[in-house]
Structure 1
C-alpha cells in the first residue's frame, strides 16, 4: 500500500541520515591520514619522552641512532585507528545525540546534550580501540625490539597475557581520557566555532581553528592520563601494578614535578593542530554539503 511504501521510504531516509555521520567521520579521518604519517616521528618523540623522561634533544638522538627503518615501527595501529576512530566517534556521537532528547527531556539542558553524547561515544571508543593503542605502545618501545621483533610476535604475546593484562591493559585511564576528551570536544565545538565565525572568517577556516583550539585545550588538560597510559602499556610482563600504583610510581619518577610530567606537551599541541583541525574542517564541510 501507499502508506507502507511511504513508511519504508521514511525509514530508509532516516537510516541514510544516521549513516552519513559515520561516513563523514570516517572520510574526514581518512583524509587526515597523510598528516598522521608526516607527524608520526613527532608522536614517537613524544612517546619516548613519556616513557624515558628525556628531553626532546635526547629523544630525537635516540630515534636517529635507531635509524629510519625503525622510525616508523608501530605506525600501522594509529593509521587504522585514525580512520576507524573518526567513523565511530562522530557517528556514534550523532546517533546518541538523536536519541538523548527522547529520554532526557526536561532533565538535561539541550546545550549539554552534545557533551553528554560525546561522553558516551568516548567510552565506546575506549572499548574498541584500547587493544590498538596497546599494540602501538608495545611496538614503539625500543626495549621490546629484541624479544618482540614483529607485529605477529606482539599479538601472540598479548594474547597469552590474557585480556585484562594483555590487550586491555590501562583500560580505565583510557576510558576516562577518551570519555572526558570527547565530551569536551563535542561540548565546545559548536560554541567555539560560532565565536570564531563571528570574527568574519570563512566556515572552513572557522571549523579548522575551532578544532585546533579545542583539541589543544583537551590534549593539555588530559596529557597526564596519556603519559600514564603510555607507561602502563609500553611494557609486557614483569611486575604488573594497578592504576593507582602506576600513577604513584610515575609521579615519583618525575620528581613530583608538573613540568617534567608535561614533557612533550608542546609536541602534542602541534600534532593536535594538524590532525584535529583538519578532521573538524573536513567533517563540518561534508555535513553542510549534505545538509
Structure 2
C-alpha cells in the first residue's frame, strides 16, 4: 500500500521545522553514521578494486593477491577511509543542505541551487584528501613492509611536505563536484517519482535500490578519474605530474586500449551498488530516528 501524499508532505514539513534558522547539524550526523556503516561493510571489496586499478589485473587475480597476503592484511589501511568517508559524507550532506536551502528560500531556481550546493560540498570534501592519499599507499602491496601502520604512513609522507598529502588533487576535484551534482539531483528526482510504501521492508528495499542504481551509474561514469587518481597517488616524492600526461602513460601501458582503462569496473559496479545502496538506506533510517 502507498502512503497518502498528505502524510508524506506532513512528515517533510515537520523535519524542516525542527531545523529553525540554525546550522542543521542533523544532516552532518546522518551523513557520518551512514558512512561508518558503509565503510565497515564494503572495505574488502574496495581493496580488490584498488588492486585492479593499480596493477591492471582481473578480479580473480586481485582476489588471489589478497588471499595470498592473508587475513591480517585484509583490513590493513581501513582507518584512513573510515575517517575520510565519515567526515566526507558528513560534509557532503551537511554542506549541500546548508547551501541549497537558503538559495531556494531566496528564489534561486531549485536545480541551480542543488547544483551549487552539490559542487560546493564536493569541493569541501577535498579538504580530507590526506586520508584518501594514505589509504592508497596502505592498500598498495609495495608499501606493506615500509609502513608499520596508518600513523607511521602519515609521518613518513609528512617528511616530503604538506603538499605531498595532496598529490592527485585535480582528478579528485573533477570527480567530487560533478558526481555530487549527479547524486543529489538524480536521487531527489527518483524520490519524487517513486511510490511511498508504508511497510518497512518495501521502503527499505526502495531506498537501497535507489542508492544502488545511482552509485553504479556515477561510479562507472567517473571510473577513469579514479584510475588516474590511484596511479598518481601510488608514488611518494618526486615532481608533481601533469594529470593528462599520467593518463596518456596509463593508456599506452595498457596497450592503447580504452577497455583496459576500465579494468575493475565490474567489481567497482558491485561495490558501488552495495556501498551506495547501504549508504542511502542507512542515511534515510538514521534521519528518521534523529529528527
TM-score by length of 1: 0.85
Give 5+ residue unaligned stretches, structure 1. Answer: 1-9
CA drift of 1:81 comes to 2.1
C-alpha distance in structure 2 between counterparts of 1:60 and 1:281, whole Å: 28
Aligned length: 273
Residues 99-158 of structure 1 deviation map (CA, whole Å, 9 limit, x = unaligned): 32366x4xx53134223211110000012x210000000111111223334323321221
Question: What's the offset of the Cα at 1:31?
Answer: 3.0
Change (3 A) 1:219 1:152: same
CA shift digits 1:178-210 (9 cap, x unpaired)? 111111100111112333337999443322211
Unaligned 5+ segments in structure 2 are 1-16
Of 190, 193, 200, the residue aligned with 1:192 is: 190
1:284 deviation in Å? 2.6
Which residue pairs with 2:230 in the alignment? 230
Deviation of 1:237 (Å): 2.5
Matches within 5 A, 1:34-183: 34-36=40-42, 40-101=43-104, 105=107, 109-127=109-127, 129-164=128-163, 166-183=164-181
Please tell me whether the aligned partners of residues 193 and 206 of structure 1 are also in contact (alpha carbons under 8 angstroms).
no
After TM superposition, the score normalised by the length of structure 2 is: 0.85
How far apart are the structure 2 equivalents of 1:200 and 1:260?
Answer: 45
Tell me, in whole angstroms, the C-alpha distance in 1 between the residues paired with 2:252 and 2:130. Answer: 27
Q: Matched residues in 2 for 1:12 and 1:102: separation?
A: 14
Aligned partners of 2:282, 2:68: CA distance in 1, in Å? 37
| Pair 1:217–1:12, CA change in 2 (3 A) | closer
Query: Within 5 A, what are the aligned runs for 1:242-257?
Result: 242-257=242-257
Distance in 2 (CA, whole Å) between partners of 1:80 and 1:117 is 23
Are residues 287 and 65 of structure 1, via their aligned partners in 2, closer, same or farther at CA, if it must alter by over 3 Å?
closer
Look up the match of 1:284: 284
Counterparts of 1:33 and 1:273 in 2: how far apart (Å)? 13
- CA separation in 1, counterparts of 2:88 and 2:140? 23
* 3-state SS in 2 of match to 1:64: helix
Counterpart contact for 1:115–1:185, Cα < 8 Å: no
- Residues 31, 94 of structure 2: 8 Å contact kept: yes
1:66, distance to aligned residue in structure 2 (A): 1.6
Moved over 6 A (4+): 198-201
The CA RMSD measured in Å over matched residues stands at 2.5
Tell me the CA shift for residue 238 of structure 1: 4.5
Q: CA deviation at 1:287?
A: 3.8
The aligned counterpart of 1:15 is: 22
Residue deviations 1:225-265 (CA, integer Å, cap 9, x gap) = 00110111012124642212211111111222222111111
